Structure 1
Amino acid sequence: MQYHAPRNDLAGSLALGQRIVREAAAAGADLVLFPEMWSTGYALPIDTSFATPVDGPWVAGFRETAAELGVGVAVSLLAEHPGGPTNTTLVIGRRGELLLRHDKVHTLRYDAEAALTPGTGFATATFDGVELGVMTCFDREFPESARELMLAGAEVVLVPNATAWNPVRAHQLEARAFENMIAIASSNYPGDGWGQSSAYTPIVFDLDGRPLDPLLVKADARPQLVPFRFDMEAIRDWREREVWGASHRRPDAYTRLA
């Protein structure tokens, strides 16, 4: 989805978020992906007093809505943490259970997120039989993020964003999907030069070797739902028979990686 969140208004961002989940569920969504730090609308400068606990009422509201509607929710928040808040994305299952917590690893330590605590790794969780992972905004600009998730078994990677968007960033996501044979779904805030929430398949050639466009859907700059579906059967077939991802890696030769 691609909507504005109220700035530094926890009650407002929860209420609007619940309404959006209801609208998406009514349209047949399996999982609803929100942009980065929806709890505060990624208001700048980041006011850490708006950090909210993962076990608090803001998250509980999304969990209750997910369970009521039987829909998955991937929502991002400024989360309380003893060493300083984290930029956290939670994947919530259809019964309202917490499936995955991802704390943004590549925080903007040089700028807006200097007061935040960076995450320490990339994990996956299973939703509807699909292995999901998350890389948050700046995480996607490092090839190691998607590679770590691929090696952990991710089939689909969710990317919440709060950033200006351009062809360079779009091509980054295309490359991450292709080289790791993972599907990618990206959500961003609307606005002039922003928006363009999108989804990419790793399937880039047909059976005759002709190139295919990996872009499944792309929003414009307006607030909107951005519905799409991944063909997991086709993606899994592609992963079984093609040569990218992990099948021909040579980690013994990657001596400069640390």
Structure 2
Amino acid sequence: MGTGVTIASAAAGFGRDLEFDLARVRTLIEQARKAGADLLVLPDAALGGYLADLRNPDTDTLPPALEPDHELIGRVARAAAGMVVCVGYCELGDDGRRYNSAVCVSGDGVLGRHRKVHLPRGEEKAYAPGEGFSAFDTPAGRIGMLIDYDKTFPESARSLALDGAEVVACLSAWPTNISNRAPRMSDDRQSRLFDLYDRSRAAENQVVLASANQTGSLGGMRFLGQAKVVGPGGDILARTWAKAGLAVATLDVGAEIAAARRVLDHLSERRPHTYR
């Protein structure tokens, strides 16, 4: 990566109305462009919204399923123009199954894709799991994507880091605790875990992490927001807290990673033969 890459992570609400969602995506792209962003990470399910009930999804009210080459993705790419934009959607696979997916685009087209690998209990009723993690090159540097629950598992981000990702984009529709909701967001268990995973995945892999999340409510789900950009030492460089908005940070990604790995290089000092 070159000097001074500007990364923006979005906290925003989305629902079933695709044209409304596209208009909001365009608005966020323009806000990010005004902030000088080279990379914008949008939430999971920004095109079509997330599940209204995670524990028992109603198959009649699932998000609209879009083919990988759906014209809506092309419209996001055209709006992105010279910016790199990661956005989540419900994908209709060639096998006829639904996937919780993310696509990374610019005005040149699709740069990378990811299907959510780890499905929390209940989500398997609506989606099939993806089968792997891979990084890809973009004008904003080498990026890997995670969706929601993927970041709970250290192996997910580690796989991307080992594939050369310098920035890990985490797209989420992460809700408050469903079974035991706290009266204040700051006391919510899922709120604490969301931040903990963001910082841990960045620090343990010594990469930059851009975390986007939905805000507002859908059905019985109340989303956390808390978009942020985290440095390779686990330090939060910018954040939105619970409100909608953009977390924006400018940094020399390559130099920051090199500095973090100068004394202790976690990836090269691994001993895989000892791990069961």
TM-score (norm 1): 0.86
Decide which of 1, 7, 11 is 1:2's aligned counterpart: 11
Q: Distance in 2 between matches of 1:197 and 1:129?
A: 19
Q: 1:201 to 1:97 in 2, by over 3 A?
A: same
Asked whether the equivalents of residues 179 and 244 of structure 1 are also in contact (C-alpha less than 8 Å), the reply is: no
Asked whether the equivalents of residues 66 and 96 of structure 1 are also in contact (C-alpha less than 8 Å), the reply is: no
Is 1:74 the counterpart of 2:86? The answer is yes
Asked whether the equivalents of residues 171 and 212 of structure 2 are also in contact (C-alpha less than 8 Å), the reply is: yes
Task: Spell out, residue by residue over 1:172-206, the C-alpha distance to the aligned partner (whole angstroms, 9 max, x if none).
Answer: 221211111111110111247711111211136xx
Partner SS state of residue 193, structure 2: helix
Is 1:96 the counterpart of 2:108? The answer is yes
Query: What's 2:271 paired with?
Result: 250
Q: Which runs of 5+ in 1 are unaligned?
A: 205-213
Decide which of 218, 223, 236 is 2:244's aligned counterpart: 223
Q: Which runs of 5+ in 2 are unaligned?
A: 1-9, 177-189, 217-221
Q: 1:77 to 1:243 in 2, by over 3 A?
A: same
Of the structure 1 ranges 120-129 and 189-198, higher mean CA displacement relative to structure 2 is found in 189-198
Task: Spell out, residue by residue over 1:23-79, the C-alpha distance to the aligned partner (whole angstroms, 9 max, x if none).
Answer: 221221112111111112214145446101121111011011122xx1111010001
Larger relative CO (CA 8 A, sep 6+): 1 or 2?
A: 2
Query: What's 1:59 paired with?
Result: 73
Decide which of 198, 206, 226 is 1:173's aligned counterpart: 198
Query: What's 2:134 paired with?
Result: 123
Number of residue equivalences: 241
Residues 91-170 of structure 1 aligned to structure 2 (within 5 Å): 91-93=104-106, 95-108=107-120, 110-128=121-139, 130-163=141-174, 164=176, 165-170=190-195
Partner SS state of residue 170, structure 1: helix
Amino acid at match of 1:41: G
Q: Distance in 2 between matches of 1:193 and 1:105?
A: 21
Q: Distance in 2 between matches of 1:145 and 1:96?
A: 27
Task: Spell out, residue by residue over 1:65-110, the C-alpha distance to the aligned partner (whole angstroms, 9 max, x if none).
Answer: 122xx111101000111241111111113x33211100001123x2
TM-aligned CA deviation for residue 239 of structure 1: 4.9
Query: What's 1:44 paired with?
Result: 52
Of the structure 1 ranges 126-135 and 28-37, higher mean CA displacement relative to structure 2 is found in 126-135
Q: Distance in 1 between matches of 2:132 and 2:31?
A: 33
Task: Spell out, residue by residue over 1:199-226, the C-alpha distance to the aligned partner (whole angstroms, 9 max, x if none).
Answer: 211136xxxxxxxxx1111212221122
Q: Distance in 2 between matches of 1:144 and 1:240?
A: 19
Q: 1:237 to 1:244 in 2, by over 3 A?
A: closer
Amino acid at match of 2:194: R
Q: Distance in 1 between matches of 2:118 and 2:126?
A: 13
Asked whether the equivalents of residues 146 and 170 of structure 2 are also in contact (C-alpha less than 8 Å), the reply is: yes
Residues 187-226 of structure 1 aligned to structure 2 (within 5 Å): 187-191=212-216, 194-203=224-233, 214-226=235-247
Decide which of 15, 19, 22 is 1:11's aligned counterpart: 19
Is the strand fraction higher in 1 or 2?
A: 2
Asked whether the equivalents of residues 159 and 185 of structure 1 are also in contact (C-alpha less than 8 Å), the reply is: yes
Percent identity, aligned pairs only?
30
Amino acid at match of 2:102: T
Decide which of 21, 37, 50 is 1:29's aligned counterpart: 37
Of the structure 1 ranges 136-145 and 119-128, higher mean CA displacement relative to structure 2 is found in 119-128
